[in-house]
Structure 1
Amino acid sequence: MFELYLILVISLLLPICYFITNSLYMLYSQGYILQKLFKLNNKYKLPKDDILNLAKVYIKRKKWLYCTTMLEFYIDETQSSQYIAEYYNCLGLCYQYIKLYEIAKSYYLKAYNKEPSIKYITRNLANIYKICGDKENFNKLRNEY
């Protein structure tokens, strides 16, 4: 009887431990990214990959205003069309999370026009077309990815 009790308790506690460990790992990785960025001397000239990592941290923490203002600032500072497309995609993601679908669609379209070959941008644009009810454009883009 005692063994059955232990098995039951362990089987209930294992999923809880998994979720707690996963959350702690995410917090640690986000803290590591932020700590690495705060050690930089020139905060206005962040590396492009670090900008995307910081945007992802802001999105996970639901800091939409920080994410949008940072990305809007760095879009004007960047020359690479691939990074600009990824910044637009992150902006579209922010607006999609706060349910401003038309604004999100415009940013996804800007990202798609910059780099139509990136699959996740095409997928995000197709998903926003589906949410907005634009079945014709959704079917066109669904065939691409």
Structure 2
Amino acid sequence: MNSDPIEETPIYYHGTRADLKTGDLIEIGFSSNYGTKRKAKYIYLSATLEAATWGAELAYGEGKERIYIVEPTGPIEDDPNLTDKKFPGNPTRSYRSQYPFKVTGEVTEWQGHSPKQLKTMKDHLEKLRQQGIEAIED
């Protein structure tokens, strides 16, 4: 009898304000949802709903905050914006890629952060911006 645990493929999430449909591709080359909104060299996803929630809440724009379930179409790597320099390892299970993500669904019921938590995070990001520290480092 094989006692090896079965390793499941994680579910990946992408938080944004973009209005996408199942089958759409999220690709590099568009304006970033964060920082100076320059053209994105990478796209980001997470294996935790918590990190995707922050992504949706902090994304620029007036559109509805959305969290999509996505499938990478190529290799992914740890997101250096949230690993090693800022947190040991990858506790948020956040990743990036230069390959598209295919939208396979949407999380329609999720709990956002409290107004106080959101204000604290936005204030912190604004302080970094004033210090010339970009939210997304390529």
Shorter chain as normaliser: what TM range? under 0.3
Structure with the largest fraction of helix: 1
Q: TM-score, normalised by structure 1?
A: 0.23
Higher relative contact order (CA 8 A, sep 6+): 2
Q: TM-score, normalised by structure 2?
A: 0.24
Please say which structure displays the higher CA radius of gyration. 1
Structure with the largest fraction of strand: 2
